[in-house]
Every structure is written in C-alpha cells, then in structure tokens.
Amino acid sequence: MDFLSCIVLLSLCSLSWFLIQALQRRTRVRLPPGPKPFPLIGNLFEVGDKPHLSFTKLSQHYGPIMSLKLGQLTTIVVSSSTMAKEILQTHDQLFCNRTILDAMRAAADSLPFMPVSPRWRKLRKICSSQLFATKVLDANQANRQVKVQELVDSVNESMVHGVAVDIREAAFETTLNLLSRTFYSFDLAATASSSSEMAREYKEIVWGLGEEAGKPNLGDYFPVLRKLDPQGIRRRFTNHYNRILGFTESVIDQRLESRKGDDYVTTNDMLDSVISISEEKNEEDMNKPQVIEHLFMALFTAGTDTTSDTLEWAMAELLHNPESLLKAQDELDSVLGKGKLIQESDITQLPYLQAIIKETFRLHPAVPFLVPRKAESDVEIGGYIVPKNAQVLVNAWAIGRDPSIWDNPNSFMPERFLGLENQIDVMRRNFDLIPFGGGRRICPGLPLAMRMLHLMLGSLINCFNWKLEDGVISETMNMEDKFGLTLKMAQPLRVVPMPLSYN
C-alpha cells in the first residue's frame, strides 16, 4: 500500500477521531506559526517528495521557526542561522537527544541516535581523542594517499579506453576503501583495475538504508500503526541494517580472535585502538563487542554515503560552472604543478579549493535536515514554545540559501569564502554553514571527511580535464536533487576524463 493511499484510507474511516484530535489541538501552548493542519493528517500533504524545498517555501511565509502537524507528530522546523544557534548551542542541553524514527529503531543503540549518557560521552571522547584526533589522522595519511592514487589510476584507465566515469560510483568505492583502510587495515572494495562485488553490495545496502530512512513513514505520524509497519519501511531498513551489522560483527570477531595469538602485532588502525580502550579496566562499560560493532557501523555507513555524495555535487557544480573549474585548476597548477596528487599538507595552501568544498556544503548539505532532535521539555525559542517531545528539524538546506545571509544564494560562487572577512568554517563556531550539525552532537568524523574531500576532489581536477557524456553541455546539465536520508543528485554524474593540456 503506497503512502498516499494509506492517508486517504485513514481520512475516510476516522471521522470521529478527527473531532477528538481537533479538540486536542485547541491548546494554550504558544506554538510557532505554521499552516493550518487538516484533521487527523495534519500537514502531511505539505511535505511533498522534496521536503527540504517544501519546508523552505513554507518558512518564507511563516518565518524562521514554524510548527507543522505531521499526523500526530508535532514538528518544529527552524530555517535561519539564528534559530539554529538557539537549538544547537544556546539550548543544546534540551535538544541534544534524538527523535528516533520508526524505521530506524534498529539503529537506536548506535552513536548518532543513542541518548546522551555516560556511554555516549565515552564514545564521543574516543572519537575525538583516539579516532579522529589530528595526530592519529596524520599517522594514517599515507594510507589515504595510496587510495587516492588508486582512484586516479582507475580514472586514467577509463580515459585510455574512452569511457565515462560514474563519479558517484568512483567516489563511493574510493571512500569505502579510504575508510576501511583507516578502520580495519584492509580494502572493502577492489583494486583500481577490477570491479568489486563486495563494494557493489555494500553500496546497495547503504543506499537502501538512506532511501528507507528518508521515506515518509505512517508509523512516525500515527503511533497506532507502528506495530503494523504498513509500508514495510521498518522491515526493509532493519534488514539492510542487520546485513551491515553482521559484516561488522564478523570483522571484529576475527580481530578479537587474532589478538589472542602470541604472535599478534598490533596495528595502528581504529579497530585495534577501540578494542584496546574497551579492554582497559577503567572502561568496563565499553567492554562489550556490541558497543564497538554499533560504533563502527555508524561511523562507517555515515561516512561513505555523505562523503561520496558531497564529492559528486562538487564535481557537478564545477562542470556546471566551468570558470570555477579553471580557477581551481590554475590554483593547483601554481601550488603543485599539473598532474600531481594533492598531499594533505597542501590543503592549507589551496584556499580556492577549500572555498569550493564550503560552497558545495552550502548549496548541497548531505543531510538537509541534519539528524532530527527532540525537545526534552517545553522550551521558549524566538518568543514561541517548542513543546516537550516535539521533533525538531534544522533545515540546513534553507539556511545555506538564505538571502539575508548570502548574496545570490542560488549561485555557485566559491569566491564568497575568500578573504579574511569571509573565513566561515564548519567547525561549530558559525551557524551560517552547518553541514555537520553543531553543538555536542556535531558529526565526530568531520576532520577525516574534510581531508578526504579535498584529497579526492583536488586530485581529480588536477590530474584530468573533464567533459560531460553524450554531448551534454554545462548549461543543460541536470542539477536536480533526490531527497532521502542524504541528498543525492537525481541523475548520477557521468563524465569523460580527458588528458591535461600542457602549455
């Protein structure tokens, strides 16, 4: 049964319930403004297939904080950097926990969704001080360099044969290898010269997770239907989740068994680091394989999809705006010389490349509503009351296109991030650009993601020229997006690599 049919059925058979719900909505709580809800279904028809766009349009009428009734779920949407700061920083303590969507119950014990607790604090501390600390990432940068070289070798092979490269596929496989090498000391995907069945399967599962999590789910809007799972979303999500969790369990079990041997040599990968921490006496709460499994599952799946999606959008915007691509290539040529891979130590010398990444984050945040938060109590925000247990969505997509913040907000202009007066970063100190969230629940993998994105994008545009497939030109590119847990291009970007021209 599809989503619309379920809504119509409920509407026809629930007249008496309509009246009860209408009476319940007559509350004295000073909710933020919003469109008038229909009985029972509320504002569900306002959502559409691109909620980030629908809610942005609504906010232009109702303001930067508005309330929606999605079935029985009260949802507060904030669409300005000022309101985002209220949620993510000023009142972070009251909004630090998550709304767990019905589909994602299987992931409730993973780091992104578990409530703030002693265990959560220990996991966050491990991420910041052991996994993603500067000294740890510096120690592993040689592995990432090898993976980027393999990406370039794979693209070069495509160039030799005159075939197009699917940027999403290439970015996903490289990100998969970058992360698996960093986490586990082996590659999940194949080498540059061959195809990997495991990589394809992993990609399908991760994309399946995102697709199911991003679908409107009647179980979220009408709690009475949760046990029925009428659209099968929870069942499919759980199946995908358990498949990846099973793989993670097998990797960890093999490592635990190997560590029992007298001849085992400890690696410097993230898995050995976390296992060693969990075995320490002062970390007894962590000494459970399930804790490590859910931690690595969350970090790994979140990192692959968001990073590869962002890289695809960055390449698409550069091809859609050839003058920006030329500026980036000129900068790389002047700093490194044409045809060379970027080293992580080069990134600070490439301000225009950094600006391209920021501009991509602004226009195409990988998770357009961030991860939903939940109000722990009634909270006054902007003169209105956000009621206890309300779902709170921070519309990062709308903030990135807010004309009160950005000149020509819908145009790709990396130059806006150049100059001392434009040093906006993504490290929680500024709420105009929040692709990784903010506050205590900012994405822990941010430092690694930033390194990977600059390495891959810079190397691709410094080692090759590019043209669109099938005679498509920059002006006619399809730049439409597709909503899900992450925001993907509606049509995968396929481009043909060309040799560099040396003057």
| Residue carrying structure tokens 């709690």 | 223
- Judged by phi (left if over 0) then psi (alpha if -120 to 50, else beta), residue 393 lies in beta
| Residue carrying structure tokens 């560590």 | 259
238 has pLDDT over 90: yes
| Residue carrying structure tokens 């960890």 | 252
**Rounded to an integer, what distance in angstroms lies between the CA atom of residue 263 and that of residue 421?**
56
365 has pLDDT over 80: yes
Question: What pLDDT score was predicted for residue 465?
Answer: 96
**Rounded to an integer, what distance in angstroms lies between the CA atom of residue 255 and that of residue 260?**
9
8 Å CB contact between 199 and 192: no
Dump pLDDT digits (tens) for 454-467. 999 999 999 999 99
Confidence of residue 287 (pLDDT cuts 50, 70, 90): low
Element (H, E) at 459: helix 446-463
Question: What pLDDT score was predicted for residue 6?
Answer: 54
For range 19-34, the mean pLDDT: 63
Of 98-112, 198-212, 346-360, 460-474, the least confident: 198-212
| Averaged confidence pLDDT in the chain | 88
- Percent of the chain whose predicted confidence (pLDDT) is above 90: 60
3-class DSSP state for residue 385?
strand
User: Which residues have CB under 8 Å from 245's CB, separation 6+?
Assistant: 293, 294, 297
Question: What pLDDT score was predicted for residue 296?
Answer: 86
Confidence of residue 10 (pLDDT cuts 50, 70, 90): low
**Rounded to an integer, what distance in angstroms lies between the CA atom of residue 427 and that of residue 444?**
11
Exposed, middle or buried: residue 407 (CB in 10 Å: 0-12, 13-18, 19+)? exposed
pTM above 0.85, yes or no: yes
**Rounded to an integer, what distance in angstroms lies between the CA atom of residue 101 and that of residue 121?**
22
User: Pairing mode, if any, of strands 384-386 and 379-381?
Assistant: antiparallel
Question: What pLDDT score was predicted for residue 236?
Answer: 94
For range 373-391, the mean pLDDT: 95
Identity of the residue numbered 38: F
Of 216-225, 287-296, 386-395, the least confident: 287-296
Higher pLDDT, 370 or 26: 370
17 has pLDDT over 50: no
Sign, CA dihedral 474-475-481-487, equals positive
11 has pLDDT over 60: no
8 Å CB contact between 176 and 304: yes
3-class DSSP state for residue 67?
strand
For range 133-144, the mean pLDDT: 89
3-class DSSP state for residue 84?
helix
State the Rg of the chain over Cα. Answer: 23
| Nearest CA-CA partner of 151 in 171, 166, 128, 176 | 171
Q: Residue 42 forms beta bridges with which residues?
A: 38, 70
Domains and CATH numbers, the chain: 3-498 (1.10.630.10)
Higher pLDDT, 183 or 34: 34
Question: What pLDDT score was predicted for residue 210?
Answer: 84
25 has pLDDT over 50: no
User: Which residues have CB under 8 Å from 12's CB, separation 6+?
Assistant: none
Proportion of the chain in helix, strand, coil states, percent, rounded to 5? 55, 10, 35
3-class DSSP state for residue 468?
strand
For range 96-121, the mean pLDDT: 91
Under DSSP, the state recorded for 413 is: -
The DSSP line for 478-502 is ---EE-SSS-EESS--EEEEEPPP-
